[in-house]
Structures are given as C-alpha cells and as structure tokens.
Amino acid sequence: MRIVFMGTPDFAVPSLDALVAAGHEVLAVVAQPDAASGRGLKINRPATALRAEELGLPVRQPRAINSGPFRDWFTSEPFDLAVVVAYGRILKPWHLAAPRLGCLNVHASLLPRWRGAAPVHHAILAGDTRTGVCTMQMAEGLDTGDILLCAETPIGPEECVGELWERLAHLGAELLVQTLDQLPQLRPRPQDEAQATLAPPLARADCAVDWSQPAGRVHDRIRGLSPWPGAWTLHRGQPFKLWRSRIVEAAGPPGQVLQADERLVVACGQGAVELLEAQAAGGRRMSGRELCNGRKVAVGDLLR
C-alpha cells in the first residue's frame, strides 16, 4: 500500500517502523518543523524526521499545510492512505479527501474516552485502571471518526505517563499493521457521543499539586505528569518538582512533611504519599532519602 505517514514525536516512531517492516511503501514522512526547546533554545528535530532519515525515507516539514507547495503535493501525489500518529496539526476536509482510502489515525485511548491532545496523561490523572489504543477513519471533528480496531491494556497502580506512553506506542504500532491487513473486511463503528470525554493540552497551572486532595488523587497527579510536563508544588516559596510517589498510611495537615529520614512522607487531605523522587529548586532529581539526608526537606515543612 502506498502511504504518506504523518507524525511528529517519539510516540509515532514504532508505527513508522512497523509500516516499513510490513512492506508498505512509505512515500514520505510528514512532521512538524524543527523547534527550539530547553534553556538554551537548542533546535531539535522531530523524532520521526530523524528516524525517517535513518530509513532513507523522504521527509517533509511544512510550516503551512493548507496552502502552497505542501497542498499542491498532497493533492497531486497518487497514494492510497495517510496514516496519522500524533502529528500535532488539525487536518482539513481536503486533507481527509485527498488519499484514495482517506486518512487513518492511531489514537492513544479507548475512544470515545479521552479525545484530544493528551489522552495518556488524562487517563492516569483521572485514575483510570485501563486504557488502550484505537485506529479510526479520520473525520472533521476532534477524534470523532469511526473506529476500526481497538486494543486494551491495564494501567499499573504506580505506572507513570512516560512508561505508559512507551507501551501504547508499541501497542499502537501492532494495531496499525493489523488494521491495514484487515482493512478491506473491517466495518467502521461509530463512536458513542454520550460517552465522550476530552483530553486537552496541559498548562503549567494543571500541574500544581493540591494537597487537600486524597492521597490517591495526589499520587495520580504526580505519576500522570511524570516525566513531562512535571507535577510541582512550592517548598519554602520555591518550586519543588515531584517525579515519583506511592500511597502510604499516615495523617496530618495537608501538605505537611510528616517524615523526613529514610522516607519522605507528606500528608494529603486523606492519607499521605511518600515522595520517592523529587527535585528542589536549582537542584538535581533526587530520591526522597537523599533530599532528607541533605536537609533540603525537614519534618514540619509545608508544601503548598
């Protein structure tokens, strides 16, 4: 099958590899333009562009996808299908109509739950115990297209978003190949709009920990934002980044450090969490024990 692959981050790389391994002809890999990031504003290439170059595939990184050279190429090049995996741009009706078989998307949730840009994060933030991936025939709405196939997987009680992200990337790649193998026989299934939930992008304010919440909710927020964009709180007026935690039995005023020796334990609205890894302002990522031994955190300190 002649395919144009549209994807940008590392989540899309296993799907690209799977298409090539399955013998499909990938005409080009379309990714977002290179972007500056980090303190030094270093220019970084998308993971899919780097992998495409390793595979010897043409790469296109248009800034304008609705006019100009990219539109001319996309509408004149004969190909069967566009496969879209975390591309990061909204496709217009003309995009969807250009390929002979339309556009197929690999989405990291069990649709219609968690439509949008951050489905993996929101699944953990909500305390979901199961998630998965779906392939769907793309439509004009936000992840509203008819579903082709789904694969379900449990979410571990201490699994963080980075770990789940990697698992779903590989699960999605497997499901993509299965979908293409079965495509002529598949009957697309409409989504149940009554069950739809949204997974919008996360802002810094969404990453602050509310210590008045029960321990389970605090724990889900920490792991649902690790390693990116990162849960945070204030300690002695300075940002304090939280990487890993677990729920423990203890009680005290919300946000108060209850134990700071071999373990770093903080009270929540109900119960408490042990901070397994955290990062003080200006410091490096450290275990709870290291933070306590370095006297960066003490019993009675209040996290806000």
Domain CATH number, residue 246? 3.10.25.10
Do 249 and 271 meet the contact criterion of CB atoms below 8 Å apart?
A: yes
Structure-block tokens of residue 40? 């030094």
Please report whether residue 303 resides in a domain: no
166 plus 31 within the same structural domain: yes
C-alpha Rg value of the chain to the nearest Å = 22
Helix (H, G, I), strand (E, B) or coil at 292: helix
Residues 181-225: tens digit of each pLDDT: 999 999 999 999 999 999 999 998 899 999 999 999 999 999 999
Evaluate if residue 37 carries a pLDDT over 90: no
Same domain, 175 and 215: no
User: Which of 37-51, 108-122, 152-166, 233-247 is predicted with the least confidence, judged by mean pLDDT?
Assistant: 37-51
List the one residue out of 99, 107, 177 whose CA is nearest residue 135.
107
Q: Which domain holds residue 79?
A: 2-195
Q: Of 33-42, 50-59, 174-183, 265-274, which gets the smallest average pLDDT? A: 33-42
Residues 35 and 124 in one domain: yes
In the block, residue with structure tokens 């939280």? 242
Nearest to 264 by CA among 288, 280, 287, 281: 288
Q: What is the pTM of this model?
A: 0.96
Q: Is 164 found in the same domain as 39?
A: yes
Same-domain pairing of 70 and 97:
yes
Looking only at the bridges linking them, the beta strands covering 2-7 and 25-30 are parallel
Q: What is the pLDDT of residue 177?
A: 98
83 with 134, same domain: the answer is yes
Domain boundary among the residues 195, 217, 252 is at 195
**Same domain flag for 49 and 188:** yes
| pLDDT tier, 39 (very low <50, low <70, confident <90, very high otherwise) | low
Residue 282's pLDDT is 86
Which tens digit of pLDDT belongs to each residue from 41-86?
688 999 999 999 999 999 999 999 999 999 999 999 999 999 999 9
The backbone torsions φ and ψ at residue 123, rounded to the nearest 5 degrees and listed phi first, read: -60, -45
The verdict on residue 269 lying in a domain is: yes
> Does 134 lie in the same domain as 65?
yes
Domain endpoint, select from 178, 195, 212: 195
In a domain, 131, yes or no: yes
Q: Is residue 128 part of a domain?
A: yes
Clarify whether residues 123 and 142 are in a common domain.
yes
Residues 268 and 129 in one domain: no
User: Residues 260, 252: contact at Cβ < 8 Å?
Assistant: no
* Residues 135, 148: Cα–Cα separation, whole Å: 5
Are 74 and 213 contained in the same domain?
A: no
Number of domains in the chain: 2
- Same-domain pairing of 250 and 131: no
Mean pLDDT of 88-111: 97
Residue 295, pLDDT score:
76
Q: Are the beta carbons of 131 and 153 closer than 8 angstroms?
A: yes
**Which of 139, 165, 195 is the last residue in one of the domains?**
195
Q: Which two tokens stand for residue 58?
A: 């043409």
What average pLDDT does the structure give for the chain? Answer: 96
77 in a domain, yes or no? yes
Q: Is residue 301 in a domain?
A: no
Residue 277 belongs to a domain: yes
Residue 163, in any domain of the structure = yes
Residue 38: is its pLDDT beyond 70?
no
What CATH number corresponds to the domain at position 103? 3.40.50.170
